[in-house]
Structure 1
Amino acid sequence: MTRTPSDPLSDRTSFSKELPDVQATSPDVRINLTRVGVKNVKKLVEVYRAGKRPVIFISNFDVYVDLPGSLKGANLSRNFEVIDEVLQQAIDGEVTQIEQLCSVVARKLLDRHEYADRTEVLMRSEFMVKRETPVSHTTCHEVVKVHARAIARRTFRTPIVRKSIGAEVTGMTACPCAQNIMKERAMRVLEGLDVSKDKIDEFFAAVPMATHNQRGKGFLCIETDDDQQVDLEKVISILKDSMSSGIYELLKRGDEGAVVLAAHKNPRFVEDCVREMARKVLAEFDYLSGDSRVTIKQTNEESIHQHNAYAERKATIAELADEMNGDQHNSD
């Protein structure tokens, strides 16, 4: 009797169905795990923009689910499948913000991991920002580090999702303390040369005194409910405008003088940068709900010290607003 050759594809399909699902077996130690998943999944994220070129993010994803003590392991391949599905949605224009991308992934993971009560998606990206220098208007680019996150929790109805978007920007700060010391010295010299007080004041208004500078690194992240929107470009703008001056990859001579002058006319401590960010957040995002959480960090890499200066604030929008309003009442 002649045997008919079997279809290789059919054989592979039946073979895969017969493979044991080891993840679904019981573990030797039956305890719940808070986070099980994959880290540093590298993806190129392309976000559609109507009438413009898409925004490209070079991204690393961390994707987690919680795992009950009854299961030996999580099915991690589902995480990759969901990420790729949502990335295609971003290309097609269905997802237009990276924090929205994270929240969609988090929701889909709850559907794919029926045993999970909590999913978490972290996204770290590099984003190229096009800039123009202040005097020569030379075009250059700057790399901004972008952070997005979403956490979805299963409920008896629809999942509860919280998402966040943030950025890390590098700028320049000028120290007010050293500048004041140099100003006092210059004032004594000018007075010794019989320069009038009016002329001294006029000079200092036009030519700020020397001080030591730092490269500052500002971080701002805002966490909201899933139905609220935070503009990433506004976050980046707040970070840049809260330091003494921005910095640029390429500077002509006129640009260099303008940047140094701007920084020295706007000296700020590391604490000043954080407080200025908080003020600008309330002004720009006054529509956000009071339970939206803000994380602000500033690190200044000191030039005349061997240490770095650091300041931080974490608070809800409501807490910051109460403090700001209280400060205004006190000043009145």
Structure 2
Amino acid sequence: MDGDEGKTSLNFNELFDISPALVIEQMDKAGDDIPLQDPPFSISVNEVGLTREDIPIQIKCPFRPNNLQYLSCTVRLHVNLPATKRGVHISRLNHAIAEHSQKTFGHLQDYVESLARTVSRITYQNSSQVFVSGKLAYFEDITGWKPEKNKISLEQIGLHCEGQLNVENQTFLQNAGITFSHITACPCVQQTMKHVLLSKDIAFTHIAQEMPFLTHSQRCKTTVTIKNISGVIPLLEMLQIIDKVVFRVRNTLPRENELLLVFKSHKKPQFIEDVVREIPVALYPSMAHYLNSSIETYSVSMESIHDFDIYAKSEYSMSELKRVLEKQA
């Protein structure tokens, strides 16, 4: 807000009949700035920080780089508190968050690095860590079976980034990734149906062989994180690769597109375990230059015929993925 917008009506001078500058100066001179006092026990604290919800962050849209876009994000940050300090100035951390919401960043990762370095600078020059997650909304053009049936779909993917600044060795590493929804079709029911027909000596016609068998499908939510990186992840390239492995859902789906999505997913049935194996293997060639990194995949399947969810998680180093591909060659 500019000008007097949002300012409190409370005036320190009028209420207490003394300048706030004089009060703060006297506090500092007397050693009564609480965070700067000696702690009761001279031991460090691993993490001191805060979590804020619905923080606006402006970045360049990954899908349309000429456009700017606000993300509503959760921001979690903390610093290492040295043994010589009693606490941190929380107002300084909130000021840093507010300042960063007035800036524009190329990527969410740029925001995280900038905030982590600022937090470190204003809190005793100590190591800091920042985690940010939010949803990116974007539009997709849906081609209809005739021009007047063309539509637009409003889609969302989750973005997240965690950055850690180590002041001792002056390194900054990040974990960054995406979250998306997709569907899977269960291969078990299909195989059972196949053997039901085989046991009845039912001949498979050419059409039957081309058509997937009956099965149930479920919506899944999957998060892919590239860990310990020092650069910006290629978001669009990642999505293009992921779309060759799984079948992401869409919010606007005309009838012919619905059939296409369901048919493709049933033609390639998957366990959730398949998902967390196939995605990192597919991503490896474009991520191999991050030599000391790993790819973590976490997927939750919201089962359609069961009253529970199934989850699977994998994490493979680049060297592990390289060995897998070499064996397949």
TM-score normalised by length of structure 2: 0.84
RMSD of aligned alpha carbons: 2.5
2:69 corresponds to which residue?
Answer: 55
2:25 corresponds to which residue?
Answer: 17
SS of residue paired to 1:248: coil
Between 267-276 and 312-321, the greater mean CA deviation after superposition: 312-321
| Post-superposition offset of 1:269 | 1.0
Separation in 2 of the partners of 1:183 and 1:135? 34
Distance 1:131 1:186, change over 3 A: farther
Is 1:140 aligned with 2:153? Answer: yes
CA contact (8 A) 1:219 1:239 kept: no
Structural mapping, 1:297-312, within 5 Å: 297-312=298-313
| Post-superposition offset of 1:237 | 4.0
1:4 corresponds to which residue?
Answer: none
Q: 1:179 aligns with which of 186, 190, 212?
A: 190
| Post-superposition offset of 1:113 | 1.5
| Post-superposition offset of 1:217 | 1.3
Distance 1:87 1:319, change over 3 A: farther
Is 1:104 aligned with 2:114? Answer: yes
Q: 2:275 aligns with which of 266, 273, 276?
A: 273
CA contact (8 A) 1:36 1:67 kept: yes
Structure 1: runs of 5+ lacking an equivalent: 1-6
2:253 corresponds to which residue?
Answer: 251
2:291 corresponds to which residue?
Answer: 290
Distance 1:280 1:51, change over 3 A: closer
| Post-superposition offset of 1:40 | 2.1
CA contact (8 A) 1:67 1:115 kept: no
2:173 corresponds to which residue?
Answer: 162
Separation in 2 of the partners of 1:320 and 1:170? 24
Distance 1:255 1:225, change over 3 A: closer
Separation in 1 of the partners of 2:241 and 2:37? 51
| Post-superposition offset of 1:289 | 2.2
SS of residue paired to 1:88: coil
SS of residue paired to 2:102: helix
Separation in 2 of the partners of 1:64 and 1:235? 29
Distance 1:298 1:262, change over 3 A: same
Deviation string 1:104-127 (CA, Å, 9 cap, x unpaired) is: 2112222212252x2000001011
| Post-superposition offset of 1:87 | 3.7
SS of residue paired to 1:64: strand
2:328 corresponds to which residue?
Answer: 328
Is 1:45 aligned with 2:57? Answer: yes
Letter in 2 for 1:112: I
Distance 1:133 1:180, change over 3 A: farther
CA contact (8 A) 1:87 1:101 kept: no
Deviation string 1:194-237 (CA, Å, 9 cap, x unpaired) is: x5x5xx2x2234321110111111110112343x2212233344
Is 1:74 aligned with 2:82? Answer: no
Give the share of equivalent positions with the same residue, in percent: 20
| Post-superposition offset of 1:138 | 2.5
Structure 2: runs of 5+ lacking an equivalent: 1-12
Q: 2:215 aligns with which of 211, 219, 222?
A: 211
Separation in 1 of the partners of 2:244 and 2:101? 32
Separation in 2 of the partners of 1:129 and 1:242? 22
Distance 1:315 1:54, change over 3 A: same
Separation in 2 of the partners of 1:78 and 1:188? 73
Letter in 1 for 2:168: T
CA contact (8 A) 2:125 2:167 kept: no
* Count of residues in Structure 1 that have an aligned counterpart in Structure 2: 305
Is 1:129 aligned with 2:131? Answer: no
